[in-house]
Structure 1
Amino acid sequence: MALTAPERAPHTGGGGCATSSVEDAFEALSAAAPEGWRVELIEGEIHVVPPANGEHEEIVSEVSGQVRDHRKDLGRYTGIGLLVPGASPAGRVVPDLVVAPKGSFSDALEYHAPGPAMLVGEVTSPSTADNDRGPKLRGYARSGIPFYLLIDRGRGQAVLHSLPTGTRYTRKVEVDLSQPLSLPEPLGFDLDTSEF
Structure 2
Amino acid sequence: MPVGTFEAIALHAARVMEGARVELLRGRLGAKAVPYGDRGCVLQWLTRVCVRRRPELWLDTQQGLVIESRREGRARPDGILAPSDAFAGAGTWADPTPVLMIVEVTSYDSDTDHRDRVEKPRAYAETGIPVYLLVDRDTCEIKVHSQPDGVRYEQVRTLPFGKEVTLPDPVGITLDTEPLKDWTR
Which of 131, 139, 145 does residue 161 from structure 1 map onto? Answer: 145
Query: 2:3, 2:72 within 8 Å by CA — same for their partners in 1?
Result: no
TM norm structure 2: 0.87
Q: CA deviation at 1:30?
A: 3.8
Structure number, greater radius of gyration = 1
Alignment-mate amino acid for residue 60 of structure 1: L
Q: After superposition, where does 1:153-192 map in structure 2 within 5 Å?
A: 153-192=137-176
Aligned twin of 1:51:
34
Q: CA deviation at 1:25?
A: 4.6
* Cα RMSD (Å): 1.8
Structure 1 unmatched ranges of 5 or more: 1-6, 8-20
Aligned twin of 1:123:
105
Alignment-mate amino acid for residue 8 of structure 2: E
SS at match of 1:36: coil
SS at match of 2:77: coil
Query: 2:80, 2:99 within 8 Å by CA — same for their partners in 1?
Result: yes
CA distance in structure 1 between the aligned counterparts of 2:22 and 2:157, rounded to whole angstroms: 29
| Poorly superposed stretches of 4+, deviation over 3 Å | none
Identical amino acids, percent of aligned pairs: 33
Query: 1:158, 1:176 within 8 Å by CA — same for their partners in 2?
Result: yes
**Which structure shows the higher helix fraction?**
2
Q: Name the count of aligned residue pairs.
A: 176
Q: After superposition, where does 1:73-112 map in structure 2 within 5 Å?
A: 73-85=56-68, 90-112=72-94
Aligned twin of 1:18:
none
Q: CA deviation at 1:108?
A: 4.5
